Structure 1
Amino acid sequence: MEATVQNDQRQSLLCSLPTEIRIQIFTLVLTADHDLSRPYRADRKYYRPQYQYHQKIDFSLLFTCKQIYGDTRLLPISANEHVFWLFNGPWKQFNQNNRNTARWDSWYFSLNEAQKPAIQKVHIFNQQYYLENLITTDARRFPFKTHSLHLTFRHSDWWSWESPPASSDRLGICPWRRHRTSCQAMLAEPIQPDLAYIKERMVEGTWGGSICQILNLRKLVLEFETDERKKSQLEAVVERAKGWKFPLAWEDLVLEWSGQLDVSRWEGVRDLKDDYHFLKEQPVRDDLPKRQYYVVTMVWQAKPVSNSVD
């Protein structure tokens, strides 16, 4: 669109508002909302208390006039969370060509050069196997830039999710260890490692190293979920995670745990399924066995390396 051929819209009350107020209004209008006509099924692995519906954005505002288009064209990218599922996503609602597990590649490279830097929030529901073994390779790296990355480990995303609570096969993970990390290997690591120790180990081939390669990253959210009966196992992971640091590769910054730790619980269907398990859908029965889910959410914020506490 030719920016030089544009009405200044002085007769419009909306366009006469201060820029900051206009942007707040435009952001509200272009923020995704629940599509109540397309609910998620409560018996699926992608169903969560905050993720019960597909999302929709009304783009009508962008067609109003050139001035408003210029003010708002990047807001659908910057104001919204971009969600991806590494397995067990709502595949029935996606085109078959977009069901691959690294779908962010095709999404990111479909954006133009103005849109790519506008990304603010990316949320990935990841599987521990995928994160530790595949995301670390060149072909599966995170290609996007984002201000905030949110990784969710669902109950069934852990290696040991099917193990009984009393089993020795307990929850374990560490961002600078390659491949599968057992609980015993996690506990063998220092509980408060200094930055030099982490930098030496958080290199290519580790999932923490892949996170450190993301440009513009300033905030990391890790959300851990498990069966309530494995609460003590998850608490051991959380205690270790408090000492994790993520030295960003391209800047003199390090992501450190902010001290923010939120605990929540929810009750849901015990045996959640993937869309691929069903050829013909039946209504979700009210009498399905339930499970109590225990969730801990932690936040890391960027700090100058010189201010990092070793």
Structure 2
Amino acid sequence: MAVSVICAFGTLGCPFSGRCTEPLAWSLGGTPFMNQNNSPLFATIPKEIRDMIFVYALTDCTPSRPHQPIPWTMRASLPPASSTKVAGQAVRYRSDIAFPLLWTCRAIYIETYSLPLSLNPIYYGYAMQMGKPPALLPWQFASIKGVDIAVQQVRLEQGMLYSHLRWDKQLSLQDRHNGVFVVPSLSVNNEPIYSHHFTLVHTDKSVKTKRLTDVLRDATIEEWSYSKSEFPFPSSSSARVSLAQPFTHITIRIGATDWWKWSTNPDSTDELQHLALDPSLSGESDAPHYRATAGRMKERAQERRNGNFMGDTSIDRFPPRYGSVRWGRIVDEMPDLRSLELVLETFAPKKAQLNAVVECAKTWTFPSLGSCRVFVWDGRVEESRWSRTVSPPHSDESLEWYDTCEDFEVRAIRFVKRILTG
């Protein structure tokens, strides 16, 4: 494969140069293998149950710190197969994904090779890192179906996350919905390409894998700013690329220090100093008449309970001063979304404020404009907590209350898709 011809980074800087860019399964798919008639997993257990076993074994359930969705225990010596996908980080972390399952036999490998990628989200520790996937091969990045993002409330409410979901060339959620192949970055000059090793090429959904040469040949001229006759296609390449899977799940995390009012006195009775969040409110600044406040959050929650709140269904009724992009509209950019999860963390002294946010969140709905689908609370709230050890302060050191706080509270609430009828 003439990677240096099609990769923007050249032979030396190309992460794919000299590497096989296809999964072994693509080469084994047409070869015979033992029928496994003596294995209960294949001969006795129905395929539906076998699939459930595979999903359970290959889903990462490692206990993790709530704000940073990475397990506490970090081991740089773990083999690459045990690393967690983390944008912008090369450090490997412990995972309970049963990777050895893929090594047991060819029959199991063929059925499961992509599941560790499709079942587990790609993590972004900060919203501005979106578009910077870790060192994944094109087929691996194409297999991912979920994204897990830690974001500051100010960036969430000011539309930065929405903008990333809408315009980010790597995620390209609408393009993934319509059909794109993930290929190495294309370039015909020395100008840098900020696609981080990948380019998405439009196609139809009739095939899931295709030769790279054919993908480039069939690409429309509008996709490139040059004539295809000027591009030195690697005509001898038989490398294959895969169709990008649509994103079906997103997790949004707000950590203890990511709220507008994370550092205010937890004993304050002034609701303007409390934690607050609402999908129909955006924060252009810290001014109370712009951002979400506890009072306004509770008012809108009560309106939803009474059935007379229209802000969730009509953008035209949304007050312009809150900004034209409210963060609740992120579902509009994810046409294949099936679930939306919020993980909210705070210092233990602000536990009551966090619980108030969660009670209001139970009333939230996330409608998709122009369709009959809406995301509603699934009826469960997951509670967790964790502690840290705080070093004793120096004698002359002045600390705030949160500097000495050792305990944290976390709430996870999920919204699932419903189809409106009637």
Q: Using structure 1 for the length normalisation, give the TM-score.
A: 0.68
Which of the numbers 303, 314, 339 marks the counterpart of 1:192? Answer: 303
> Which string of whole-angstrom CA distances, capped at 9 and with x for unpartnered residues, describes residues 282-302 of structure 1?
xxxxxx944222223222222
Where structure 2 has 5 or more consecutive residues not aligned to the other structure, the ranges are 1-26, 75-92, 174-245, 285-290, 392-402
- Which of 1 and 2 has greater Rg? 2
* Residue 70 in structure 1 maps to residue 110 in structure 2: yes
TM-superposed deviation, 1:82:
3.2
**1:282 alignment partner in structure 2:** none
> Which string of whole-angstrom CA distances, capped at 9 and with x for unpartnered residues, describes residues 126-158 of structure 1?
221221221122435964543332222211111
SS at match of 1:157: coil
Relative to 1, partners in 2 of residues 1:190 and 1:45: Cα closer, same or farther, differing over 3 Å? closer
> Which string of whole-angstrom CA distances, capped at 9 and with x for unpartnered residues, describes residues 180-235 of structure 1?
52314434535333574312238962211113421332222222221222233223
Whether the aligned pair in 2 keeps the contact of 1:254 and 1:304 (CA below 8 Å) is: yes
TM-superposed deviation, 1:26:
3.8
Matched ranges for 1:136-175 at <5 A: 136-137=162-163, 138-140=166-168, 143-144=172-173, 145-165=246-266, 166=268, 168-175=272-279
Whether the aligned pair in 1 keeps the contact of 2:157 and 2:326 (CA below 8 Å) is: yes
**1:125 alignment partner in structure 2:** 150
Whether the aligned pair in 2 keeps the contact of 1:6 and 1:66 (CA below 8 Å) is: no
* Residue 255 in structure 1 maps to residue 375 in structure 2: yes
**2:342 alignment partner in structure 1:** 222
Give distance in 1, aligned partners of 2:385 and 2:48: 38
Q: Which amino acid aligns with 1:198?
A: D
Where structure 1 has 5 or more consecutive residues not aligned to the other structure, the ranges are 88-99, 272-287
Whether the aligned pair in 2 keeps the contact of 1:136 and 1:204 (CA below 8 Å) is: no
Give distance in 1, aligned partners of 2:61 and 2:343: 22
**2:281 alignment partner in structure 1:** 177
Matched ranges for 1:299-310 at <5 A: 299-306=414-421
> Which string of whole-angstrom CA distances, capped at 9 and with x for unpartnered residues, describes residues 6-26 of structure 1?
224346625445334543444
Whether the aligned pair in 2 keeps the contact of 1:33 and 1:55 (CA below 8 Å) is: no
Give distance in 1, aligned partners of 2:280 and 2:100: 46
> Which string of whole-angstrom CA distances, capped at 9 and with x for unpartnered residues, describes residues 151-176 of structure 1?
22211111211222226432122212
Give distance in 1, aligned partners of 2:100 and 2:343: 34
Give distance in 2, aligned partners of 1:169 and 1:71: 52
> Which string of whole-angstrom CA distances, capped at 9 and with x for unpartnered residues, describes residues 50-89 of structure 1?
65442445655545655333211221123324332117xx
Give distance in 1, aligned partners of 2:29 and 2:107: 8
Which of the numbers 89, 96, 101 marks the counterpart of 2:129? Answer: 101
Greater alpha carbon shift after TM alignment, 150-159 vs 236-245: 236-245
Q: Which amino acid aligns with 1:86?
A: Y
Give distance in 2, aligned partners of 1:107 and 1:290: 36
Bigger strand fraction: 1
**1:115 alignment partner in structure 2:** 143
Relative to 1, partners in 2 of residues 1:212 and 1:163: Cα closer, same or farther, differing over 3 Å? same
Which of the numbers 156, 161, 166 marks the counterpart of 1:135? Answer: 161
| Corresponding residue pairs, total | 269
Identity of aligned residues (%): 24
Give distance in 2, aligned partners of 1:224 and 1:270: 22
* Residue 7 in structure 1 maps to residue 122 in structure 2: no
**2:199 alignment partner in structure 1:** none
